[in-house]
Chains A and B, each alone.
Chain A
Amino acid sequence: MIHLVTAVVKPFKLEEIKDALRGAGIVGMTVSEVQGYGRQGGKSETFRGGEYQISFVPKVKVEVLVETPDVDKVIDIIATTARTGKIGDGKIWAVDVDRSMRVRTGEVGAEAL
């Protein structure tokens, strides 16, 4: 069984998360620059002495495909690495993946990871 672990985290934490997952033997991840808001509902910035609201805060989305035994470990690693204790640390979630394939070889399932 394969799962997709998705984490939305503070951008400056990305390097640490990558190193931690690599160190734990997780090979491969996909990242993208995203924007969003959670309970904080955005944030404020200033320009020429005036304050304005940013509704969508820049974040990095990390996506990792893992086998069932590794799911909790990966979630745990990301959570401990990304945590600063301040508002806006992000979210992590995992969903089941019903199929997968390595494009080059055509391997499917866990072989594709």
Chain B
Amino acid sequence: MRQKLRRLREEKDTRRLIAVILGGKMLGIVGVLGAMKIFAWLFESAAWAQGAAPITHAANDFVSPINTVWVLVTAFLVFFMQAGFMGLEAGFARSRETVNVLLECVFDTCLCGLLYWAIGFAFQFGAGNGLIGHQFFFLHGMTAAYGTTKVSFLAFFLFQFAFADTASTVTSGAMVGRTSFKGDILYSIMVSGFIYPIFGHWVWGPGGWLGNSMGWFHGLAGGTVFRDFAGSTVVHTVGGFIALAGAIALGPRIGRVFKRDGGGPLPPHDLTWGAIGGVILWFGWYGFNPGSTLSAMDWQGIGRVAANTTLAACAAGMVAVLFVYPRSKKWDLGISVNGFLGGLVAITCPCYWVSPAGAIAIGAVAGIVVPLGIDMLEHWRIDDPIGAWPVHGLAGIWGTLSLGLFAAGKYGVPTADGVDKSTLVKGLFYGGGTAQLQSQLIGSATCVVVVFGFSLLLMFGIRSIKGTWNLRLQKDGELEGLDIHEHGTPAYHMEFGQGVSYTTLLGSGQSLSSSDVPRKRPLTVGVSSNEEDL
């Protein structure tokens, strides 16, 4: 036995084997210990183990519970906007890509939630410098209330997650119908995890340069700072311009011929859901804007914001319909929905600081901006099936600038306990000069240049990936429809019969059909005549 062992030790191969096994064991032990440490950190189990806190009495503090309930209720409303996006985007798209649109919204929401927990919230709302935050990664080190808000930290997190999710979903609107699902995953990671939170930090984050000092542009801002109450720029211009970059990188859907070339839009497949989705978004906006006070103590503020939001939407929806009527002599449902959404996007930035009449004026202009934006895209031959760029990008810019014109000079900023009127926001039309307008211009232009520039690089980058991770689906998948090709099922089953072939009209008598596309494998082997197949 001993001799046998010695002989084993002397054999070179055996020694190496033993060394490898022992080394592996050591690595394993280190790995397990490391994982235990990481889990303990991630789940904060060490903190829990230190014993339960004594009973805390909250009854004497009314502000924190009320603010928290307010923020939670509005967070739920903002979250419900996902349902609106699903209806709007699916309804305005063709039936063959319905499942794709729906799953994109669901999947992006799930992805965004986890990314925002891990890094997004830290980038956006963690302490750091003017460009990026780096605190609260994996929600580590959170306090009872976030900052001075008197809102439960996690309620604040939930509210901000719902915002991030909205920005990420806006993006998919312009890219419907030809984006591969893998490509969608790639850009969604960048939007939810990096672009939105980092730009958001610049405006809303602690120490963000646009929201606090105006950075290099300090001298141009005349003592004001960039103000975006609920996110015309931070959410909508960001989402709208990423969407535009995506639509440019992708190119139009097969068969989409533009007006200049004798074509027109591809018809929507379900305007019932399109319009209901739009109205659900409107409803969700009652969380988006009033909730952005983060404080129910500012009771006049939340009332004003809610009313302004409504009035802007009404004005925009009506103006858009009337603006388009002379052209087609028809009362256009699609433009009314895009129109009131544009009004909602526009009022999102100034909603706190303008009067009801101001809100109507801002909405009315948005009702013209949106159809003009749709015409611009048509002229540039950019295919945006939902109208994401005119509604979110363009109306977002208008709304952001409009604060510099219409801010009434009577309102300060909401605080946890009420209102802080030490700095009143005043626009050009109310005798405030151009200072606020200049700040708004700087902020909006920064967003367009930085976000649009980066998004173009990102989208063209994904577009140039070889293989199935490319941003755009291969031609056969697009003709067959994303639902069947990417998801294995159509949204609307034909109950009787199978073997449906999908045809896309190309104009001038040409068409492409799924049966034209060569199959990957021949249907039969060794049979030369097609007739024998039948």
Q: Which residues of A contact B106 (CB under 8 A)?
A: none
**A30 is an interface residue with CB less than 8 A from chain B:** no
For residue A47, which residues in chain B have a CB less than 8 angstroms away from its CB? 265, 267-268, 332, 334
The CA of A109 and the CA of B328, in the complex, are separated in Å by 54
Q: Which range holds the interface residue count of chain B? A: 20 to 34
Cross-interface CB contact of B330 among A46, A52, A55, cutoff 8 Å: A46
Residue of B whose beta carbon sits closest to that of A53 = B264
Within 8 A of A (CB), among B312-329: 324, 327-328
Residues of B close to A52: CB separation below 8 A? 263-267
For the complex, is B375 an interface residue (Cβ under 8 Å from A)?
yes
Contact B267 A49 (CB under 8 A): no
B-contacting residues, A26-59, CB 8 Å: 44-55
Q: Is the CB of B505 within 8 A of A55?
A: yes
A44's nearest neighbour on chain B, judged by CB, is: B264
Question: What are 21 A-B pairs at a CB distance below 8 A?
Answer: A44-B264, A45-B267, A46-B328, A47-B265, A47-B267, A47-B332, A48-B332, A48-B334, A48-B335, A48-B371, A49-B332, A49-B371, A49-B374, A50-B259, A50-B264, A50-B378, A51-B259, A52-B266, A52-B267, A53-B263, A54-B267
Instruction: Find the B residue at minimum CB distance from A51.
Output: B264
Residues of the A chain whose Cβ atoms lie less than 8 Å from the Cβ of B330: 46
Bound-state Cα–Cα, A51 to B328, Å = 8
Q: Which of A54-89 contact B (CB under 8 A)?
A: 54-55
Please measure, in the bound complex, the distance between the C-alpha atom of A46 and the C-alpha atom of B267, giving whole angstroms: 8
Contact with A along B237-268 (1 / 0, CB 8 A): 00000000000000000000001000111111
Q: How far is the CA of A47 from the CA of B93 in the complex (A)?
A: 12
Chain A's closest residue to B271 (CB) is A47
The number of residues on chain A lying at the interface, defined by a beta carbon within 8 Å of a beta carbon of chain B, is 12
1/0 per residue, CB under 8 A from A, across B3-31: the answer is 00000000000000000000000000000
- Bound complex: CA A47 to CA B259 (Å): 13
A49 adjacent to B505 (CB under 8 Å): no
Is A48 a contact partner of B267 (Cβ separation < 8 A)? no
User: Does B387 interact with chain A (Cβ within 8 Å)?
Assistant: yes
A44-B334 Cα distance, complex, nearest whole Å: 16
Chain A residues whose C-beta falls within 8 Å of the C-beta of B64 in the assembled complex: none
Q: Which of B325-371 contact A (CB under 8 A)?
A: 327-328, 330, 332, 334-335, 338, 371
Nearest 3 A/B pairs, CB to CB = A52-B264, A48-B334, A49-B324
CA distance A44 to B505 in the complex (A): 15
Given the complex of chains A and B, what is the CA–CA distance between A53 and B266 in angstroms? Answer: 9
Asked if B338 and A48 sit within 8 Å, CB to CB, the answer is yes
Q: Identify the closest chain B residue to A55 (Cβ).
A: B505
Within 8 Å CB of B375, what residues of A? 49
Extra contacts besides A47-B332, A53-B263 (15): CB < 8 Å: A44-B264, A47-B267, A47-B268, A48-B265, A48-B332, A48-B334, A48-B338, A48-B387, A49-B335, A50-B264, A50-B265, A51-B259, A52-B265, A52-B266, A53-B264
What's the Cα separation between A47 and B328 when bound, in Å? 9
Contact present for B374 and A50 (CB under 8 Å)? yes
Say whether A46 contacts B505, CB under 8 Å. Answer: no
Contacts of A49 on B, CB cut-off 8 Å? 324, 327-328, 332, 334-335, 371, 374-375
Contacts of B338 in A (CB 8 A): 48
| Mask: chain B, 500-526; 1 = CB below 8 Å from A; 0 = not | 000001000000000000000000000
